Amino acid sequence: MTTGAFDRSESLSSLETTQFDVVIIGGGITGVGCALDAASRGLRTALIERDDFSSGTSSKSSKLVHGGLRYLQQGEIRLVYEALHERQRLRHNAPHLVKVLPFLIPIFSSKGVVSKKLARAMGSAMWMYDFTGGARIGKLHKRVSKEEALAHFPTLPANRLMPSYLYYDARADDSRLCITVARTAALEFGATVVNGAAVTGLRKNAAGGVCGVTVQADGRTIEVSAASVVNAAGVWADDVLSFDKPEHRRTIRPAKGIHITVPWHKVRNDIAAVIPVPGDKRSVFVVPWGDFTFIGTTDTDYDGPVDEPQCTAEDIAYLLKAINGSITTEITVDDIVGTWAGLRPLVADPEASGRTADLSRRHKVSGSISGVVTITGGKLTTYREMAADTIDEILTGVLDDDARRRASKRSRTKNLRLHGAEGYDELIAAAETTSPLGGEVVRHLADRYGSDARAVLTLAESDPDLAAPLVPGLPYLRAEAVFGVRNEMARTLDDVLSRRTRARLLGRDDSAAAARSVAELIATDLDWDAAEIDRQVAEYNRLIDEERNVPQLPEVALDVALGH
């Protein structure tokens, strides 16, 4: 095993001087998964991300590690089987990030009667989910009484609620998972990983085979040498393919999914729930997250700019209609403290008709004559399997005999523990006595950083200012911003507030109010002068204003929303 650094300047230098076996384009969960798979097999690996790790789809998911119960209805039994097996691997490999999450499926009556057909269908679906792999979590689904359902979700309408179903899946902070996989590839297997670097073209030899990529970073051009290229650019995959073949016909059909965050006391659910959407064949998730609950997702065709998809008033009305049709309290736009919109890179003919909700979530690996291997489709849960399939194709179809001799033929990631997993259980067990900051802070950090929480604690314990909240009303410490800049390649204010922490998702307007304070905190480490601080704050406020103004949302202060 070759250990390395997670340092941007070192990575940029390495790009100039190393002959790589594989260069991966894209720093979302699929790309970082490919980097870990390749590096752990012994391949000389580089990953290049234009913006920030998980800045696209991989920070804007439903934050679930699950099989996808609804995919059974579409006949995607193999997809569900694979996803449930990957869920269990992730629980083992990243116990600090992936947590069991109970789900309630409330059954509502119509005029006091539940359709026998519906009851039989739901019971059959639950058993099929268990048998397909759901039971590997250690618990079978069960039928729960109306009273038990209300104990978990007291705002459900008691007059319409009937005995319901409880099953188990898992959750994870998608951005934390993504940055952890990237750091594992670099720190433990020597991969060269860099963000803020844009691939602007492919390099080819006289025979037309790919021999590297051209990169723009920090105002300079870097010519990177590599024997193969993986295109893991997600919704931008067609743009990368056009470097290889300018006449390439687009194959990605983006589907937009949005979520809204509201104060937990408006819903009061202590477990997640799957709520039917009136007049539609879809359901939405209602998931507790500390002092908040998030609701989503939508699934609609998208033909706008892919860099910054936005929630619209129509999107939000759809979710409000769904949740308000299933609870006794009323949620309005005045309760929405955060939103996010992401694009699923579904594999389909963009000109084809039909709902995006009905398109398969299976992934596809394809290679070109020049040596570019493209991975598209898939789900957050199955990223490891997607990466293994991709690097298998690189080894068998692109690389030469020398590289094959040096590398492991089989993926080594099935049981590979991610960075921070070792020592996590011991840290949780000793949480109450580990730090003068208290057990609650230790558990919060351990569930985000694993054993690296000790490094964040050291920062916070050394300076009372760093032990203070990053954004008042949210659980993140100022020390987490410093750690993100020094250890996790955070380069911008948005990197810190949107992805290294999730302040923007949980407190849109309060994160904007704290933006200057956070920028000043990280300025020294990032060598920002006063003008750059102003620029970073202005850019973050632009993002927040657009997030609020496109769907015409009011400003919402956390202390008011949370009732503090």
CA 330 from centroid of its chain's CA atoms: 29
More confident residue, 154 or 135: 154
pLDDT at 413 over 90: yes
In our burial notation (b when 16+ CB lie closer than 10 A, e otherwise), range 274-296 reads: bbbbeeeebbbbbbbbebbbbbb
Edge-to-edge strand order for the sheet containing 45-48? 192-194, 45-48, 22-25, 229-231, 372-377, 363-367
Q: Summarize pLDDT for 30-86 with one digit per residue, the tens.
A: 999 999 999 999 999 999 999 999 999 999 999 999 987 777 777 778 888 899 999
Q: What is the CATH number of domain 463-561?
A: 1.10.8.870
Q: Summarize pLDDT for 501-555 with one digit per residue, the tens.
A: 999 999 999 999 999 999 999 999 999 999 999 999 999 999 999 999 999 999 9
Distance CA 528, CA 519 (A): 9
pLDDT at 113 over 80: no
Read off the pTM.
0.96
Distance CA 301, CA 350 (A): 9
More confident residue, 352 or 100: 100
Q: Summarize pLDDT for 390-404 with one digit per residue, the tens.
A: 999 999 999 999 999
* Domain at 8-58+175-251+359-406, CATH homologous superfamily: FAD/NAD(P)-binding domain (3.50.50.60)
Report the phi/psi class of residue 224: left, alpha or beta, with left for phi > 0 and alpha for psi in -120 to 50. beta
Q: Summarize pLDDT for 180-238 with one digit per residue, the tens.
A: 999 999 999 999 999 999 999 999 999 999 999 999 999 999 999 999 999 999 999 99
Q: What is the CATH number of domain 98-171+255-355?
A: 3.30.9.10
Mean residue pLDDT of the chain comes to 94
CA 6 from centroid of its chain's CA atoms: 20
At 1, the pLDDT band (50, 70, 90 cuts) reads: low
pLDDT for the residue 116: 58
User: Domain-by-domain residue ranges, the chain?
Assistant: 8-58+175-251+359-406, 98-171+255-355, 463-561
Query: By C-alpha distance, which of 468, 458, 551 is closest to 514?
Result: 468
